[in-house]
Amino acid sequence: MAKQSYTEKDIQVLEGLEAVRKRPGMYIGSTDSRGLHHLLWEIVDNSIDEALAGEANVIQVTIHKDYSATVTDNGRGIPIGRHKSGRPTPEVVFCTLHAGGKFDASGGYKVSGGLHGVGSAVVNALSSKVEVRIRRDGKEFYQKYEKGGSVIRTPKVINYSGNRTGTEITFKPDPAIFSTTRFDYNTIRERLKESAFLIKGLKIKLDDERNGKSETFQFKNGIIEFLEDKTKGRKSFHEPLFFEGTKDGISIEVAMQFGADSYGEDVVSFVNNINTKDGGTHETGFRAGLTRAFNDYARMKEFLKDRDPNLEGSDIREGLTAIINIRIPETILQFEGQTKNKLGTPEAKNVLESFVNERVGFFLAEKGEIANKLIDKMIRAAAAREAARKARADARKVKKIVSKKTNLTGKLVPTQKKNPDKNELFIVEGDSAGGSAKQGRDSTFQAILPLRGKVLNAERTKPEDLLKNEEILSLVHSIGAGFGQDFNISKSNYKKIIIMTDADDDGAHIQILLLTFFFRYMTELIEEGYVYIAQPPLYKVTTRKDYQYAWNDDELRELTAGKNVMIQRYKGLGEMNYEQLWETTMNPETRTLIQVKIEDFDYADEKIEILMGDQVEPRRNWIENNVSFENVDNFTLEKAEAGGDYE
């Protein structure tokens, strides 16, 4: 094999915004829907920074029919004079990486979400066009950039007599960069509503010209209303708690509430209005302060004796919903990465720990009756944790602990070769489908796990009870990566876990039960793209000469139009022989799989709690507001309201 040359001629310097177009993932994380919306957040966050500075109180976001979007605010407007480089200042902002007014506290912002000075330039680099309109200093500035910022139009500046100020940015994501350029209304809606919660009194308007939808968000009580929105319909031990203050230059708001009938933990954090989805030093400090306050109280009141170990953080946070909203000066603000999902500021840990410990301690001292109920709940959570630990230990030793009658390893039909990178696990519904799948599979890399009936609803079942269930134990053992806090994706026996159920209501219900379990106790499987849903056909259409499959009624109409055919409707996978199942649903060359992903964790978390939880009223409200009942009978509606457990 000939050696490739490597000389000084091979060293390239990417000018201007070329580096962003060459490696967009370095700047926005991905070029799928998530990266597309990241562009919008970059522009919206600039307007949010104006609101954080007290210079704007209205933000307008408009989604246009041509796949572009416009963000307008009534802030000060980007400076429009000549930069020291000789170019108009907006041109510098939109065409130069690391150019901005947020690098130090002496600039235009003491607190902001921007840090690297690349947001606007990255949006320009990854858009087919960007239009900038700015009003300030009695002038209106307009400039247009095209083809990823490689074409810069001459700016226009006109005088106007009004006193309006602000910035308006319209951008159209480049379809050559992104796998999709279609903005999702619900994704944008949730983000804008969230931002309005975080800044009291800020009005944010959203208009979608594609379908005429329009909403306005404005909340005078800020994150207290945010907390109430997240916990509506739930039973709780107390009214929402709200603490605010400033410590060492860091502004802090915390709203929190302990649920009386929930077991999960829902802590959401924000830094300078940026959702820190991966947590960071502020969340670490919050949890440490909370743990210290409750343990100190439990020992002071002798709920815990000298010989008793401290309550663990997970015991204390069981059923907790909390919102942390802090603002950090630019001088000490540190994010990990351009996408700003994790806070790295060291000072935030000590500040939050001290603040939360102090404020929660005062609350416990003042509200003794509530405090005692919470401590009792936490001690019971500790006992349940210990039981779950033992159950997980049992799950890891499952071959030894189960009897011959419930031999879990006997259910799994394993692969011949142990190669997690290539091996696939098909989770199938019932023994009939399992039989066809066993015969039809490629045994070198495809394993089959038949499940009897429906698995438990993980949203309504305690962890220790889940691990007493034979079907769940089979699933945990087959995947081989543990469960809950012990889950380790690197130990998964498969990189494709495929849910293969009948194309009917029961099949759909089994899918959502399995997805709920994965979301709650094996979250990384979904986050890393390991989970798929198989798409078996609904019909087989046979003519005198050949046959074809139809996956839906539209395809069926196309295949049968004007033809003399015989139609077979598959009521279940078990009705297919193994050759048909392989050909349509299991063969990697011909099958169709849907990959399950989490676009917005908080949104998914909320919807799973509503739809799969044990509170009927929130589910009824959601169904009434989101489902058309034209073809739904009363019996089906009652089943849905009950949460779908209707065998």
List the catalytic residue out of 506, 575, 583, 599. 506
502 is catalytic: yes
- Give the domain ranges of the chain: 18-217, 223-390, 403-536+593-605, 615-647
DSSP 312: P
CATH superfamily of the domain spanning 18-217? Histidine kinase-like ATPase, C-terminal domain (3.30.565.10)
Give the closest residue to 240 by CA, choosing from 250, 230, 251.
230
Q: Give me the pLDDT at residue 26, please.
A: 81
Q: Give me the pLDDT at residue 115, please.
A: 42
Q: Give me the pLDDT at residue 6, please.
A: 42
Q: Give me the pLDDT at residue 36, please.
A: 94
Cα–chain center distance at 149: 31
- Which run of H or E residues covers position 189? helix 185-198
Tell whether domain 223-390 is in CATH 3.30.230.10. Answer: yes
Give the closest residue to 196 by CA, choosing from 10, 107, 298, 325.
325
Phi and psi at residue 455, in whole multiples of 5°? -70, 165
- Spatial distance between the Cα atoms of 145 and 127, rounded to a whole number of angstroms: 9
Cα angle 529, 532, 536; round to 5: 160
Q: First vs last Cα of the chain: how many Å apart?
A: 64
**Farthest-apart Cα atoms in the chain, separation:** 87
Q: Give me the pLDDT at residue 563, please.
A: 85
Q: Check the CA dihedral 607-608-613-619 and report its sign.
A: positive
Q: Give me the pLDDT at residue 117, please.
A: 41
Q: Give me the pLDDT at residue 401, please.
A: 40
Contact 217, 196 (CB under 8 A): yes
442 is catalytic: no
Token pair in block for residue 248: 């060492």
pTM recorded for the entire structure = 0.68
Tell whether domain 403-536+593-605 is in CATH 3.40.50.670. Answer: yes
**54: Cβ contacts below 8 Å, ≥ 6 apart:** none
DSSP 463-486: HHHHTTSHHHHHHHHHH-S--GGG
Classify 267 as helix, strand or coil.
strand
List the catalytic residue out of 66, 504, 505, 553. 504
506 is catalytic: yes
Q: Give me the pLDDT at residue 394, please.
A: 61
Cα angle 123, 342, 185; round to 5: 50
List the catalytic residue out of 131, 429, 471, 609. 429
Contact 246, 110 (CB under 8 A): no
528 is catalytic: no
Phi and psi at residue 63, in whole multiples of 5°? -100, 125
Cα–chain center distance at 145: 32
Strand-pair category, 539-542 with 547-550: antiparallel
List the catalytic residue out of 502, 600, 605, 609. 502
Consecutive sets of 10 residues in the chain, 647 residues long: mean pLDDT of each?
Answer: 49 61 84 92 92 93 96 94 87 79 52 58 94 93 92 89 89 94 94 94 97 95 94 86 94 94 85 89 96 95 91 92 93 77 91 96 94 92 78 54 42 90 91 83 93 86 82 89 86 94 84 93 92 91 88 87 87 83 91 88 82 82 72 47 43
- Which run of H or E residues covers position 31? none
Cα angle 151, 152, 155; round to 5: 155
Token pair in block for residue 101: 């007014």
The order of strands in the sheet holding 320-327 is 241-247, 250-258, 320-327, 266-271, 274-275
